[in-house]
Amino acid sequence: MTQKLIIIGAGMATGRALEQLIETAPDAYDVTLFNAEPRGNYNRIMLSPVLSGDKTYAEIVTHSAEWYEENGVTCRFGERVANVDRDRKVVVAENGDELPYDKLMFGTGSNPFIIPMPGHDLDGVIAYRDLEDTELMMSMGDSNKVVVIGGGLLGLEAAAGMAARGVDVTVVHIMGHLMERQLDEAAGYLLRKALVDKGITVRCQANSKQILGENGKVRALQLDDGTELPCDLLVMAVGIRPNVKLAQDIGLAVGKGIHVDDQMLTSDPDILAVGECVEHDGAIFGLVAPLYDQAKVAAKTLLDEPATFVQKEISTKLKVTGCDLFSAGDFAEGEDREDIVFRDPARGVYRRLVLQNNTIIGAVMYGDTADSNWFFGLIKDATDVSDMRETLIFGPAYQGGTPMDPLAAVAALPDDAEICGCNGISKGQIVAAINAGADTLDAVKATSKAGSSCGSCVGLVTQVLGITLGDDFKMPEIETICKCSDLSHDDVRKLIIAKELKSIPQIMQELDWTSPGGCHVCRPALNYYLVCAWPGEEVDDGKSRFINERVHANIQKDGTYSVVPRMLGGITTPDELRAIADAADKFNVPTVKVTGGQRIDLLGIKKEDLPAIWYDLGEAGMMSGQAYAKGLRTVKTCVGTDHCRFGTQDSTGLGIKIESAMWGAWSPHKFKLAVSGCPRNCAESTCKDLGIICVDSGYQILVGGAAGLDLLEAEMLVTVATEQEAIDVSCAFYQLYREGAQYLHRPYKWIAKVGLDWVKEQIVDDPENCAALAERFRYSQQFYQVDPWAERARKGVDAHEFTPLADFTKVAAE
Amino acid sequence: MTDFIDIGSVTDIPVQGARLVRTQHGDIAIFHTASGKFYAVDEYLPGKAGPLSNGIQHGEKVTDPMRNWVFDLATGEAQGADEGCVGTYEMKVEEGRLLLSRDAIANQVAAE
Ligand SMILES: Cc1cc2nc3c(=O)[nH]c(=O)nc-3n(C[C@H](O)[C@H](O)[C@H](O)COP(=O)(O)OP(=O)(O)OC[C@H]3O[C@@H](n4cnc5c(N)ncnc54)[C@H](O)[C@@H]3O)c2cc1C
Ligand code: HEM
Ligand code: SF4
Ligand code: FES
């Protein structure tokens, strides 16, 4: 006698099981198929092409009405199974019909997770799971705005599909980069770039607070920083949960999913389960490949044939419409793991392999995934790759072949990219000079002038020589920025400008970084170079700064901090001193010291107290003295003509004016100044980065002094007649140093490299250039003259730095 | 089975940042790496390193702000020539919440 099989859910997993069953034993079962969706089995994966308009629904139907009819399947579509009576072995449909079964199969799939935030039940808040959701998204057009919560695979598919229809889409993602579970930061950056190119707005690290509505319909999403993102439709794609409600209600064993054994049997031997609703050996499933394996096993089990379901390593070749992505295995860094990274900035390609014990355990690829199967094979088989290590990353085609060009970043520059800023020489002009016979660096310098001035472009000029001449040219060794890159500091700075690079992940991708995310050596340097190159463009990344600059105070050896308020020119008032004294009392400051920079240091302050003490000092009109900064520190002064009988000019006043113009600026290293009222030099101007000595005829400006581990006397740059000129030249010099010196070089080191004569040429001999430098400095200062203490004490900036995440010291033992 | 305690949301710690969990036996630094992982390690290795939450976080490592030692966040081991190991604690993320092993805080509390 034919047995009765009832299937709950006409999805991809049960669909495959049904095919297997009918193919092997068409008459074994009399099948009834329930489906809550008002249709049969279709290829859910292809909903995205339907959304983008590349396919129609009819094209993605897996089983048509005719197929069900031919195979004798009784369809009850649009009907949910309401209950199962296991004792009587009957299924109860929504309309009350009772159907007896011999075998029952669950394939109820998953439910999209809806974050229970206020407004989640408004009209126009949907998930992305079925045809109804897809149709709603397809009804959006170029006059609509849609917000997608979730920067994982589904959310991005939804966003890309709607963007293809001209919809204004914003993706809101809680983590730091897109698809963080499958991609590392660099690949996430490339993906983001590709999506932005499609017109999609991407907001990472954005926490949704509530959904705002109007007349019961969604109006906007509000983030927890208060931003409102208006929208006509809100798609939530933040994950799925196995749909286990019915199974649970009828008492089957359920954990995260419906428990099944290796034969796909649930805790009731007459009930099977397949698909996303199951949990097998602790794992749940979200991709179709393992579901198809389950379906085969389930069909065999139904026919009493032996079969065993085995979980396999899953690689994902991810297809976000128009972006090539691949990830497989485990790609977190670890102590015993090594990375091999390959980037081809010109083609937007990124590849990373993670190796452990000479085998590949993880791979991430973006842009060119042609070799992904080969890599996946090596992961799966745990192949020993020690023999091919050198060329492994280039894929199978290169095994035994030649390695790639290490100069890719420079090769990718367009001909009109400026290489030598001093002389205004482009890459094309250098190539022309080389082709005309200049085959050494000196010859190029002589004929094109590139590299003949400050010399900071020599690294790039050499690379252009290398690219143009190929093997005929031997590249000299250069000192690289750190072990993550083949480029020197100077090269990196120039390329940041030439290629308009504006974030650290972008630099790392476009300039071929060999580590996935940089290190503590290159990150602070890159951050400074961005801050200097792109004032006003919000490029500063606090997490790439050393602790003192991150929290705007100097860390002390016991982990407490010191606080030094600014005293312009070393001048203070009784009110300021009273406020400092009050703060010292209030916060029990153990040490109050007069610094070498003519101001007062409060030492031994707890990190949590910093914003509060800053608040009090701010109330008295004081701001950060930036005694912690690689940036402007102090301008020491003497009392000058106001009080001293030797004084020739108002040294105190000039010091105050210079410090007022310069405070807040960041630079490669700290920058200290002094202004003395006469050559007796009471402010010690002759050992400063920039010192001014007032004389009867005007102001002598000295640069490049040092009084630290090295002791150096500052050298005369120029003598100027007026106070204004003194200020302008000081700003111009500071800017020249800011733009040119390598990170962590004090001015004297930089001058030793470029030569004082060159500095004079730029500033003294070229008044126009001097004015332009001063102007660039002033432009930049509009963005950096913001008191960081006030922002933290009053506006709550970086509050996470100053408060613990959780405090269990006070709770009693539980 | 390990028992976990909720210490906050994944968005409470910026990427490549760290926050402290204060306990009666000392501070624990919780790190959030660019790969989206979270780690819990002791803030100090007495006499050798810390406060680690103030260091620069890169890869799955952190560089000590005082002496530039680099520690692996997963194992707590100092890298390279330096020798030392900071304590690490089990933690996990569920539905956007950060969960720290209760042992990290409770054992010591109970021991008092
Ligand atoms: C847009 C999109 C893109 C995707 N892309 C990919 C991809 O590229 N690669 C990949 O591997 N996977 C992809 N997936 C995942 C894949 O589609 C699923 O893993 C697969 O569909 C799961 O199959 P299933 O049979 O378990 O569940 P489903 O296909 O979801 O079927 C379950 C069915 O059961 C019905 N049902 C539930 N409860 C009841 C009840 N009580 N009574 C009657 N019927 C009920 C539901 O209505 C549903 O139709 C994608 C998913 C989506 C939504
Ligand atoms: C971590 C190491 C250091 C700490 C914590 C530190 C701290 C300080 C502080 C707080 C001041 C007072 C500055 C002010 O008022 O703004 C100061 C002044 C000074 N520091 Fe340092 N410093 C350090 C390293 C150095 C180094 C490496 C040098 C030399 C290259 C140096 C040379 C000076 C000089 C010369 C002054 C006095 C400035 C003046 O008289 O104009 N310091 N230092
Ligand atoms: S530097 Fe000259 S003007 Fe200034 S205090 Fe000393 S002696 Fe007086
Ligand atoms: S930039 Fe080429 S010599 Fe200065």
Distance in angstroms (rounded) separating the CA atoms of residues A31 and A51:
32
Pocket test for ligand 2, best of A552, A626, A672 (most atoms within 8 A of CB): A672
Q: What is the pLDDT of residue A317?
A: 61
Going along chain B from its start, the domains and CATH numbers come out as: 4-107 (2.102.10.10)
Residue labelled with tokens 């969960």: B99
**Residue A671 gets which letter from DSSP?**
E
Residue labelled with tokens 């604690």: B89
Task: Spell out which residues line ligand 3, taking CB within 6 angstroms.
Answer: A 638-640, 644, 646-647, 651, 676-678, 680-682
Residues of chain B contacting A332 with CB distance shorter than 8 Å = 35, 37, 60, 74
Secondary structure in 3-state letters for A530-563? HHHHCCCCCCCCHHHCCHHHHHCCEECCCCCEEE
Look at strands B38-42 and B88-89 and give their pairing.
antiparallel
Give mean pLDDT, residues A180-198: 84
Residues of chain B contacting A517 with CB distance shorter than 8 Å = 34, 58-59
Q: Is residue A403 pLDDT above 60, yes or no? A: no
Distance in angstroms (rounded) separating the CA atoms of residues A614 and A594:
18
Q: What is the pLDDT of residue A319?
A: 63
Q: A573 or A388, which is more confident?
A: A573
| ipTM, interface predicted TM-score of the complex | 0.86
Please name the amino acid found at residue A504.
I
Distance in angstroms (rounded) separating the CA atoms of residues A480 and A493:
12
Q: What is the pLDDT of residue A463?
A: 86
Please name the amino acid found at residue A87.
D
Average pLDDT value over all residues in chain A: 90
The neighbour count for residue B18, using CB atoms within 10 Å, is: 27
**Confidence tier at A397 by pLDDT (50, 70, 90):** low
User: Which residues have CB under 8 Å from A425's CB, separation 6+?
Assistant: A418, A419, A448, A449, A450
Task: Confirm if A432 and A449 have CB atoms less than 8 A apart.
Answer: no
- CA–chain centroid gap for A651, Å, is 47
| Percent of chain A whose pLDDT exceeds 90 | 63
Q: Please calculate the CA angle A616-A619-A623 and round it to the nearest 5 degrees.
A: 85
Least confident of A237-246, A369-378, A486-495, B53-62: A369-378
Give mean pLDDT, residues A38-63: 89
Question: How far, in Å, from the CA of A565 to the mean position of ligand 2?
Answer: 15
Closest CA to A135 of A114, A166, A162: A162
Q: What is the pLDDT of residue A405?
A: 53
Closest CA to A688 of A748, A754, A759: A748
Going along chain A from its start, the domains and CATH numbers come out as: 3-110+242-302 (3.50.50.60), 125-238 (3.50.50.60), 324-398 (3.30.390.30), 408-545 (1.10.10.1100), 548-624 (3.90.480.10), 632-784 (3.30.413.10)
Token pair in block for residue A603: 């030492």
Residues of chain A contacting B108 with CB distance shorter than 8 Å = none
**Residue A666 gets which letter from DSSP?**
B
Q: What is the pLDDT of residue A728?
A: 97
Question: How many angstroms separate the first and last alpha carbons of chain A?
Answer: 62
Secondary structure in 3-state letters for A416-467? CCEEECCCCEEHHHHHHHHHCCCCCHHHHHHHHCCCCCCCCCHHHHHHHHHH
Task: Confirm if A569 and A660 have CB atoms less than 8 A apart.
Answer: no
Helix (H) or strand (E) holding A291: helix A288-302
Question: How far, in Å, from the CA of A783 to the mean position of ligand 4?
Answer: 28
Q: What is the residue with the minimal CA distance to atom 6 of ligand 1?
A: A45
Please name the amino acid found at residue A83.
N
**Residue A89 gets which letter from DSSP?**
T
A83-103: pLDDT as tens digits: 999 999 999 999 999 999 999
Residue labelled with tokens 């009828």: A250
The neighbour count for residue A660, using CB atoms within 10 Å, is: 14
Q: What is the pLDDT of residue B21?
A: 95
Which of B35, B79, B105 comes nearest A332 by C-beta?
B35
Residue labelled with tokens 């089983």: A63
- Half-sphere exposure at residue A738, Cβ-oriented, CA atoms within 13 angstroms: 28
Q: Is residue B34 pLDDT above 50, yes or no? A: yes
Token pair in block for residue A777: 């400095």
A270-319: pLDDT as tens digits: 999 999 999 999 888 888 878 988 999 999 999 999 999 998 766 666 66
Q: Which of residues 60-99 of B touch A (CB under 8 A)?
A: 60-61, 63, 65-66, 68, 70, 72, 74-75, 77, 79, 96, 98
Q: What is the pLDDT of residue A813?
A: 45
Distance in angstroms (rounded) separating the CA atoms of residues A276 and A242:
6
**Confidence tier at A351 by pLDDT (50, 70, 90):** confident
Question: How many angstroms separate the first and last alpha carbons of chain B?
Answer: 23
Question: How far, in Å, from the CA of A693 to the mean position of ligand 3?
Answer: 9
**Confidence tier at A337 by pLDDT (50, 70, 90):** confident
Task: Confirm if A128 and A157 have CB atoms less than 8 A apart.
Answer: yes
